[in-house]
Amino acid sequence: MRKFDYKKEYRKLLSAEIVSLLTAIHEYKSRQLQTVEENADVLTQLVEIAKIQSTDASNKIEGISTSDDRLQKIVKEKTRPKTRSEKEIAGYRDVLSTIHESYDYIPPRSSMILQLHRDLYKFTGHSIGGNYKTGDNVIAEEHADGTKTVRFQPVPAWETPEYVNAICAAYDDALNDGETDALALIPMFILDFLCVHPFNDGNGRMSRLLTLLLLYRAGYTVGKYISIEKLISDSKQTYYETLGESSFGWHEGENDYVPFVRYMLGVIVVAYREFESRSALIVDSSLSKPDRVREIVRGKIGPITKTEVMKECPDISQVTVQRVLSDLLKNGLIVKIGGGRYTKYVWNHEKE
């Protein structure tokens, strides 16, 4: 069995680039805490949007989905799940809510990880929930022609409990040292969790839930307002590439954590940036609904769809959003790209 020493690995991470990312996140955190403290009530809109996006994105990465209408009703608990996919979506919803509400009481321990995994599958009726894998598994990549390539061979089933205990102990040891930054420790722990691949199913979703749990426990609650799972889904190719780079040589204890740590810190930075831009629109009560739609499109780098605009301001009706987009288009402030369901809009900075 390989050994885990996050304190030693942490020292290898401290390049100028990673230190810069850590510093930026610390600064964002301070500003976010002040914004939340002063505007907690009005920011509930962001919380509700993030819940839906997180549940949707994390499950879709694993090929689990339902219609947008069913998804929203399930997340808001306005209907009962019917299909296998919907039951797993409902399980994710509940585990996410548990983490949002009780993260202070959920330490990273084997027993707690098993309980969260149990709840992930509580609607399915399957016995895999809350139990470590019963047979050896592989991490495989499926190609367009249906063939599969083994990307990584996780630890054997019989060693799984010992490995999970080991990474939890190593994380605690490094965190309690007082000289290591939890922001850098969390991606290392998550990478090792994925390399252990402790469950027959649900490893990817559990890794993203654990990411939120550990961030919240360390005081970084941006994932409550901006979906980190969606940001990962949007950069899925890079996510898998950095996982591959950082897992090379893992069994021998010679892997390089830097690519995955750098990627995850970048995702967190983007989340904080989005929080600042979205919260500014909500907090500024002087902005009318049309002005908010205008600023969302204006603040977007690159094209944006009507659906994306509506997701950022769910309190504004589709009719209002469409009317504002039509007015902006008529006045030449935005440019229309494509047509039909694929229509996108981009701000015309030359008209400013």
Residues 108 and 198 in one domain: yes
Residues 64 and 135 in one domain: yes
Supply the pLDDT for residue 13.
95
The phi and psi torsions of 264 (rounded to 5 degrees) equal -65, -35
Q: What is the pLDDT of residues 270-285, one digit of tens each?
A: 999 999 988 887 777 6
Q: What is the pLDDT of residues 296-331, one digit of tens each?
A: 888 887 899 998 888 777 778 889 999 999 999 999
Supply the pLDDT for residue 280.
84
Supply the pLDDT for residue 225.
95
Q: What is the pLDDT of residues 223-232, one digit of tens each?
A: 999 999 999 9
Residues 117 and 246 in one domain: yes
Supply the pLDDT for residue 140.
82
Query: What is the model's pTM?
Result: 0.86
pLDDT tier at 286, thresholds 50, 70, 90: low
The more confidently predicted of residues 44 and 207 is 207
Residues 94 and 160 in one domain: yes
Size of the chain, expressed as the number of residues it contains = 352
Residues 209 and 316 in one domain: no
Residue 1 is assigned to a structural domain of this protein: no
Residues 49 and 174 in one domain: yes
Q: Which domain-ending residue is among 281, 300, 327?
A: 281
Residues 52 and 121 in one domain: yes
Residue 19 is assigned to a structural domain of this protein: yes
Mean pLDDT of the chain: 92
Distance of alpha carbon 203 from alpha carbon 47, whole angstroms? 25
Q: What is the pLDDT of residues 75-85, one digit of tens each?
A: 999 999 999 99
Q: Which domain-ending residue is among 281, 298, 328?
A: 281
Residues 277 and 130 in one domain: yes
Give percent above pLDDT 90 in the chain.
Answer: 76
The enclosing H or E element of 107 equals none
Residues 343 and 253 in one domain: no
The enclosing H or E element of 123 equals none
Residue 346 is assigned to a structural domain of this protein: yes
Q: Count of alpha carbons within 13 Å of 92, Cβ hemisphere only?
A: 32
Supply the pLDDT for residue 196.
97
Beta bridge partners of 152: 139
Number of structural domains in the chain: 2
Q: Count of alpha carbons within 13 Å of 268, Cβ hemisphere only?
A: 33
Give percent above pLDDT 70 in the chain.
Answer: 98
pLDDT tier at 150, thresholds 50, 70, 90: confident
pLDDT at 352 over 70: no
Q: Which is nearest to 224 in space by CA: 281, 171, 272?
A: 272
| Domain extent at residue 223 | 6-281
Beta bridge partners of 337: 344
Residues 273 and 303 in one domain: no
pLDDT tier at 7, thresholds 50, 70, 90: very high
Supply the pLDDT for residue 285.
62
Three-class secondary structure of residue 273 per DSSP: helix
The phi and psi torsions of 327 (rounded to 5 degrees) equal -65, -40
Q: Which domain-ending residue is among 245, 265, 281?
A: 281
Q: What is the pLDDT of residues 168-177, one digit of tens each?
A: 999 999 999 8
- Mean pLDDT across the stretch 90-100? 97
- Report the CATH number at residue 79: 1.10.3290.10
In order of 59, 61, 140, 299, the CA distances from 146 in angstroms are 21, 18, 12, 41
Residues 314 and 275 in one domain: no
pLDDT at 187 over 90: yes
Beta bridge partners of 142: 148
- Report the CATH number at residue 341: 1.10.10.10
Residues 268 and 343 in one domain: no
